[in-house]
Structure 1
């Protein structure tokens, strides 16, 4: 019995050594609770959610009453228990109808978003939609249509009410079991249908004058008029978030050079804008001694920077990445108002808590993971150098600090970029060293000046200066991207790898004392798991339209055209991307399965005359109506399983389905039809 008090005493002593360093762990435990919700294979019952919420409240009250001793452990329990109901509440709040079958016909709605697809087609996001033959309560709240063909009749603008004849379908599930779940992503974006149109988009009602969206697009048009070409497209993306004029070639160059983050209005841009305004206002106040000595210049500058950041958030469209960046900057500026240290791990933790409470689903996004990984690593490294009085000073201080910050941010974000995008930019450090300083010292200050003088019609000179910096960044991106060693492709890791890497790195950064190095064991386990990642020997798309088989020369695909997105995802996840035509050329004449052969057919005529032998596997993109003696994978069966992965083993093939990996959740199509009827 004496053992238990001794363990408790040792635990209390251990917690005392962490005094003042435990708060940054708060978002970690909240994230673990949120992650447990998304890892579940069935939707948690209401009673379970109530139990977790009650446990969280009770634990928080107990921790407040105790104040010391085991209070930190109880706070951790409270946050862990709060994550599950918090994520569930958010998932139910965004719930809405989702299309359950294909739709072709007139689509009417209000434009609320514009972007471009991977193929470069303009996409419009609509709300207040009206679909023929579909009941209002079964009509998705939002839908997205890619515009193909001749669309010179009308250039859509946010706020307009438009009409188009479109093909729509439900959001697609994972391209392979365990892969990126677009259905879940679309659910939290309130997207209930996606599709395309080849007919002209027509204007029904113009946009309301004075709306923020209309102001953004007018501003974007002025920027592109004053600064034509690719430079104007980049300037518009940086200032207003309008990326519709960016070319596919430029985006490819930026991704290969690890400079794509310069286009996303995120922490870097928000920090540069607010930092420039803060420094400018403080300098202006200090330049007048009579004012500078009588007013709190730093706090006034912080308020001005906060207002500038809020205006930038509003002007840039307020997407999720920009909202996250604004929260991080706002926390730091508010800390300055209350005479607290602006840049600290506590400030980063507060920002992470705010983001996770407002949007729990952001935990799964690459943007959240990469931005907080970079910020946490940078704050920890420079805080350690500051405390040890090792910060570089003198003439070499600036270049060394820039080199160190780029290296730290690159190393911190590299695992997440590789896991999500299957690519490591091997020359990314060089590209960032050549571009980021110019972005901070030249491009963004010019953008702020252009925005300030634009009401006076004087934006031409600031935009010209901004364009010179953008031209340099574009040149760097293109030069890096054409180098043979620019990128290295990697295989997709298992679902356990990133959590292990993240927890291990957080232990090293946040824990105090020698025990912190225990986190390196978790990092090693994560890297070992990544190196042993297993890829499926056979993949079947969720509609039966594409099949991929591993061969000695790489993954062979069943057709050279069509299902290009799925084909690209499979090849990238293999860590060996290639053109679909080349992968189709690898298709073998005979593919053996356990007791027979794999047969792949396409089209209604082939499906009507389909045949197979016992033990064969038959894959068809059309329903097979007649009974057959073999295993059939057609749209009817795949609709209930999703995409399929097959792994060869000593004991026979192991089959995994997207439904087995994703579970029966709110956002999956096998649940939708129970919730939202299709007919009036």
Structure 2
């Protein structure tokens, strides 16, 4: 029976190739330590051994052997990519002169202009220790405005290593920055000065970047306000002009995907070019009867898409969208079906081989979830007689079905990554997406065509009509009561189990496919049983958050706002930091704060003076401080020095009254991106009955 089931999968096995690669890549990133040369040699030998075994086993079982080999290859690809992007990472807090060339301009979450610099020079730092790239946010009054791509700037600022997870198991910005070769992040409050103008003989990447920013500036000048910033974002990928209020409305209405240059924009643009060229050539009989107009149109769309990719800055989402479009257009050139699960699988394979790290990001997951679901559903709908419906209902039905399918397919991933769900997102998309395809993107192409003639205002005016409507819809939908629902962050196993279950339903042939529904149900059950930590401690010791009856109680109303926001969002109950700090449950006495976890007393002390005035541990079992505690104290101490080793902490009260401690660094492991050398325990339990706790509490931590 198993053999028959495996034989039934023949002809559709290509879809399992990216799945197996993804399992290997995900396994690599979940390792507690970096595999060494011995492990890599063993992996290579195992792959060759599997190839030999695959030649000996019956044909029906060979896909299982290939699957194991692909899993090992996926892990190897991730390891190779990790080593390929190796670059220096700042190991301490730096203050001083910063020099570098502008390679990217965007805005931070606080709405500050943010510059990414390469060719970095830091004061009194050897070149081999200097980060490849740094990112600096500009605060305060800046003398210089209108930063130009490729120019060399100099400033005085603060830099720090990329921060670790805000809580154990949270988003690992260190890993994200590693693959961007971003070795330090920081800010400056002093004027930024131009040291050298952009080099006209620079690389083609810098020339494209300069073109992108020039077009963005011109678009925003010709179309003022938020519509102009929106137009610049979808035409060039430059979102630096978008206001935070507009971005919040787009997210709350589930229209933020219209802002990012992804599959929708690339598909609409290349689809419009393909249709325009093909039908345009059809009007010329001499060409239509003698030349393959369909293939000519595919080549034109492919070239325009490539230029759009370069102009947009080539971020991961746009690269992924172009690869998918390119695979489909190549299928047209080869007289194959353009939209099929095979094409989606090929696109996923290319992305995973090229950039394995993209697997862990929401862009990859949501993009391929939507595309796979759309292809599968519309393939299933081909079985029905749709031609009986009135002609005018078909495009309407297609928009409704595609918006609903894409929304439902991406909803779990969006909820897991962003902790929110737009309840009226389907309505907003039905009112906006058709206009994006029928007016906004064609008008953008028209503006580009008319620009050399100085007539692009016509196209921009048409764009503005569509964009004003979309912004109006976003504002109205976001303002509805209950527009956004907030969701607790899931356990790490939830998304992998859910994704495998959904892929099993789509890819498996036969009645056994519905077994994937059990995995999906198990994932939702795991999600429902997720419990948030009783007490969270930031990695600098300056912020703690106690879970109370009204929600998480924060130790201060401002400061460490980024970490506070992440904690509250992961709780599924985001509120303003000052509101969370005003909740009852913590006892404050100046810069000393007390909290209770069952029979455990926790004390947080901020500042040198408050720490020096504290007698012993103030009667607490656990002392937390953002300063270094030099002398031993009769309690368990998590000071700034120890927290640098452990990272952020999560403390939970067990059923027996003990205290379970989970470390962010232990969860992250010893990996190249965190530069950790000392092993840190992932989790341990503190017991008040431990004899070491009674004699010398510091001995408990020294054992790890």
| Fold shared by both chains (TM-score > 0.5) | yes
Among 515, 531, 535, the alignment partner of 1:534 is 531
Deviations 1:370-415 (A, max 9, x none): 0000000000000111134457662211111111110000000000
- Call closer, same or farther: CA 1:220–1:64 in 2, change over 3 Å: farther
1:450 to 2:454 alignment: no
- Tell me what 2:602 maps to: 598
Check conservation: 2:143, 2:192, Cα contact below 8 A: no
Aligned to 2:187: 196
Give, in whole Å, the separation in 2 of the partners of 1:257 and 1:192.
35
Q: 1:615 Cα deviation (Å)?
A: 4.9
> Helix, strand or coil: the match of 2:331?
helix
Does the CA contact (< 8 Å) of 1:666 and 1:672 recur in 2?
Answer: no
Following the alignment from structure 1 to structure 2, what is the Cα–Cα distance between the partners of residues 608 and 156? Answer: 47
For residues 280 and 578 of structure 2, the distance between their equivalents in structure 1, rounded to whole angstroms, comes to 61
Distance in structure 2 (CA, Å) of the matches to 1:408 and 1:416: 14
Structure-2 separation of matches of 1:419 and 1:301: 40
1:244–1:61 CA distance, 2 compared to 1 (3 A) = farther
Give the structure 2 partner of residue 4 of structure 1.
none
- 1:599 positional shift: 1.3
Inter-CA distance 672–231: structure 2 relative to 1 (3 Å threshold) = farther
Aligned 8 A contact 2:628 2:639 in 1? yes
Which structure 2 residues correspond to residues 523-562 of structure 1 after superposition, within 5 A? 523-562=520-559
**SS at 1:171 equivalent:** coil
Check conservation: 1:594, 1:615, Cα contact below 8 A.
no
2:477 paired residue number = 480
8 A contact 2:597–2:653 mirrored in 1: no
User: Are positions 1:270 and 2:266 aligned together?
Assistant: yes
Matched, 1:441 2:446: no
- Partners of 1:567 and 1:38 in 2: how far apart? 26
Greater Cα shift, 444-453 or 531-540: 444-453
Aligned to 1:223: 219
Task: Tell me the equivalent position of 1:677.
Answer: none
How far apart, CA to CA, are the structure 1 residues paired with 2:399 and 2:321?
21
Q: Is the Cα–Cα contact under 8 Å of residues 504 and 519 in structure 1 kept in the other structure? A: yes
**For 1:312, which of 300, 308, 312 is the aligned residue?**
308
> 1:124 and 2:115 equivalent?
yes
Residues 585/33 of structure 1: CA separation in 2 closer, same or farther (3 Å cut): same
Q: Deviations over 1:519-539 (max 9, x none)?
A: 000000000000010100000
How far apart, in 1, do the equivalents of 2:262 and 2:664 lie? Answer: 32
Q: Secondary structure at the match of 1:127?
A: strand
Q: 1:185 is matched with which residue?
A: 176
| Residues 598, 617 of structure 1: 8 Å contact kept | yes
- TM-fit CA distance, 1:56: 3.0
Q: Does 1:666 align with 2:672?
A: yes
Matched, 1:367 2:363: yes
How far apart, CA to CA, are the structure 1 residues paired with 2:515 and 2:390?
33
**Compared CA separation, residues 519 and 615, structure 1 to 2 (3 A):** same
1:609 aligns with 2:613: yes
**How many angstroms apart in 2 are the aligned matches of 1:369 and 1:185?**
16
In structure 2, C-alpha distance between the alignment counterparts of 1:311 and 1:602, rounded to whole Å: 53
Which residue pairs with 2:644 in the alignment? 639
* Alpha-carbon distance in 1 for matches of 2:443, 2:56: 53
Q: Which residue pairs with 1:676 in the alignment?
A: none
Tell me, in whole angstroms, the C-alpha distance in 2 between the residues paired with 1:671 and 1:165: 31
The answer to whether residue 565 in structure 2 is matched with residue 574 in structure 1 is: no
Quote how far apart the aligned CAs of 1:620 are.
Answer: 1.2
1:118-267 equivalences under 5 Å are 118-209=109-200, 211-267=207-263
Residue among 41, 45, 48 paired with 2:39: 48
SS at match of 1:203: strand
The residue number in structure 1 matching 2:631 is 626
Q: Which has the higher contact order (CA 8 A, sep 6+)?
A: 1
Counterparts in 2 of 1:345-364, with a 5 A limit? 345-364=341-360
Per-residue CA distance 1:591-641 (angstroms, 9 max, x = gap)? 224654221121222233333146521111121222211111111000000
Q: Secondary structure at the match of 1:440?
A: helix
Contact 1:272 1:444 in 2 (8 A): yes
Question: Residues 125, 67 of structure 1: CA spacing in aligned structure 2 closer, same or farther, 3 A cutoff?
Answer: farther
- Verify the 8 A CA contact 2:603 2:620 in the aligned structure 1: no
For structure 2, the residue ranges without an aligned partner over 5 or more in a row are 202-206, 588-593, 680-704
SS of the equivalent of 2:299 reads helix
User: Take 1:139 and 1:363, find their aligned partners in 2: how far apart are those partners?
Assistant: 29
Q: Equivalents in 2 of 1:126, 1:37: separation in Å?
A: 30
Q: Say which is worse superposed, 507-516 or 342-351, in terms of deviation.
A: 507-516
The alignment's C-alpha RMSD in Å is 1.7
Q: Report deviation, 1:291.
A: 1.0
1:174 & 1:452 partners in 2: Cα distance? 46
Residue by residue, what CA displacement relative to the aligned partner does 1:441-496 show, whole Å, maximum 9, x if unpaired? 11011111111221222211101100110000000000011111101001000001
After superposition, the Cα gap between the structure-2 partners of 1:393 and 1:24, relative to the gap in structure 1 and judged at 3 Å, is farther
Change (3 A) 1:42 1:506: same
The question of whether the paired residues in 2 share the 8 Å contact of 1:234 and 1:246 is answered with yes
Specify which of 577, 580, 583 is matched with residue 583 of structure 1: 580
- In structure 2, relative to structure 1, the CA distance for the partners of 1:620 and 1:455 (3 Å cut) is same
SS at match of 2:178: helix
Q: Distance in 1 between matches of 2:429 and 2:265?
A: 14
Instruction: Look up the match of 1:5.
Output: none
Query: Matches of residues 379-394 of structure 1 in structure 2 within 5 Å?
Result: 379-390=375-386, 394=391
8 Å contact kept, 1:607–1:623: no
- Asked whether the 8 Å contact 1:595–1:616 carries over to 2, the reply is no
SS in 2 for 1:70: helix
For residue 23 of structure 1, report the CA deviation from its aligned partner. Answer: 1.1
For the residue of structure 2 that corresponds to 1:647, the secondary structure is strand
CA 1:393–1:349 in structure 2 vs 1: closer, same or farther (change >3 Å)? farther
In 2, Cα distance between the equivalents of 1:384 and 1:60?
Answer: 36
Aligned length: 664
| Structure 2 residue corresponding to 1:521, chosen from 513, 518, 529 | 518
Give the C-alpha shift of residue 206 in structure 1.
Answer: 1.1
